[in-house]
Amino acid sequence: MELSLSSCSAFLILLSTIIAIAVIKLIALIYYQLTYWKKKGIPSVIEIPILGMTWKVLLGRINFQELVVELYRMKPGARYVGSMDFAKPMLVIRDPELLKDITVKQFDHFPDHLGFVDETVDPIFGRNVFSLRGERWREMRVTLSPSFTASKMRFMFDLVSMCSREFVNYFVENPEAGKNIEMKDAFTRYTNDVIATVAFGISVNSMKDKDNIFFKKGAEVTNFSGILNIIKFTLLRVCPNFMKFLGIGFLTPDTAKFFNDIVRETVQARDEQGIIRPDMIQLLIQARDKESSNLDIRDIVAQAFIFFLAGFDTSSTLMCFMAYELALNPDIQDKLREEIDQVISQSDGELSYEDLSKMEYMDMVINETLRKYPPAILMDRSCVKSITLPPALPGGKELYLEEGTGIWIPVYGFHQDPKYFPEPEKFDPERFNATNKDNIIPYTYFPFGLGPRKCIGERFALMETKILLINILRKLVIKRTEKTLVPIVFDRKSFNLKVKGGFWVSFERRKD
């Protein structure tokens, strides 16, 4: 009995000690968060200790883009504000000149994205060009850059055009299917076919074969909605070591196996049969075979995957918002169609790669879509070398930014700022005409990022978007339906720009 009481007392003492230590650490963390930026004399935004501003997103009170705008607008006049990404200091940049310094002039201090996936747990996501850091990133960027030159775009033009024609012909041949279309589903089927063809050398028609494995895996890996996914991505970012202990990465084991298998089989077949195809995988194989190369099959898989991920989701999102605005603005759609008809008539009715650069109004419409609906609403950087930044406010003191501090760049905030873009909610392609585009303040419009970390696939994304819209407008008219949501409402259960209820429009045959 005495032994039992003694054991119980020892347990209670141990439990009390653990609780006391946890409480002390929690208090210390709260004190650290509340005083970190104050001690530096920097305006800060921290609503709730530990959770900071993100609690509203986690509880579904606001969506992520609303949070970005809140952070951007909370301290008018300040070049930057301090905040907390859970336990980590985060600086939110809101000044174009400072943005130029961080992303270009002082790039060696801010070369990396914030890491949140351990490559030992998830090598596919951890080893791709987006996630890589330092010298490994530079080497991979140099390796991949030849995949996106103008000459490579010309080669891929025919492959993309074939996918586009198949997509449009489906609706021409099946007019009933075009009466009410959810564009996100439809356009991701097109981008899925493009990436499967261009990157993997596999021919897919997802409008006819709706359950093909490529599309199913793409839909799975780009699903950022739902409370479970939000919790998962939050924990990956906030507690990477804990998630590593649990063995949880960005991809599910089944999805990782699918991409591993398909790329390894493609590479093996090319090695054994001497197949040469001027695409991204071939360039990676050539880079692997150089004497000085450190690339292996895991690197090839990782780069093929990130190309698939970016092409599948972000490009289709751009197409959705563009089709949505054209449906709501038939005058803009008509003007764009007239330009398409005029340019193609000068090329004997056949679209060529060179024709894409002749369509100035097309560029204006795409640029305005990217301004109003940037696919990446927030960019990040990590400070790898301490640096002194100018004062946040006039008359303030300089900020000594410590190594390891995170940087948030609110793309959506800049693009929605009436100081830079009057009436930001209005869809107005004329902002980007030959006269007005020169008046846009540098570093206030950057849908594909800035500096050396700018999206490597920008040229390809624009090409596949233009080709599809050209082929649609040559044969079809995009119209709003009773299911078209006006005004647009963003889903609060998603980290990216996702419309609540979907993008609904209709396709009707052109009569002229």
Measured between its terminal Cα atoms, the distance across the chain in Å is 97
Which residue, among 135, 15, 33, has the nearest Cα to 83 in the 3D structure? 33
CA–CA dist 278, 271 (Å, integer): 14
Question: Residue 493 and residue 12: Cα distance in Å, rounded?
Answer: 42
> Is 320 a known ligand-binding residue?
no
DSSP secondary structure of 262-292: HHHHHHHHHHHHT---SSHHHHHHHHHTSTT
The span from the CA of 414 to the CA of 428, in Å, is 16
How buried is residue 249: exposed, middle or buried, by Cβ count under 10 Å (0-12/13-18/19+)? buried
Contacts of 357 (CB under 8 A, 6+ apart): none
Q: How many residues in the chain?
A: 512
Q: Which two tokens stand for residue 83?
A: 């905040």
* 73 close to 424: Cβ distance less than 8 angstroms: no
- Per the CB < 8 A criterion, the answer to whether 243 and 236 are in contact is yes
Task: Establish how many alpha carbons lie within 13 A of residue 409's alpha carbon, considering only the half-sphere containing its beta carbon.
Answer: 28
In contact, 166 and 207? CB cutoff 8 Å: yes
What Cα–Cα distance (Å) separates residue 116 from each residue in 59, 93, 415?
22, 21, 26
Whole-number Å distance between alpha carbons of 116 and 122? 11
Per-residue HEC secondary structure of 64-85 comes to HHHHHHHHHHCCCCCCEEEEEE
CA 23 to chain centre: 38
CA dihedral 332, 333, 334, 338 (to 10 degrees): 100
Q: Which amino acid is at 206?
A: S
Q: 182: part of which helix (H) or strand (E)?
A: strand 181-182
Binding-site annotation, residues: 455
Binding-site annotation, residues for heme: 455
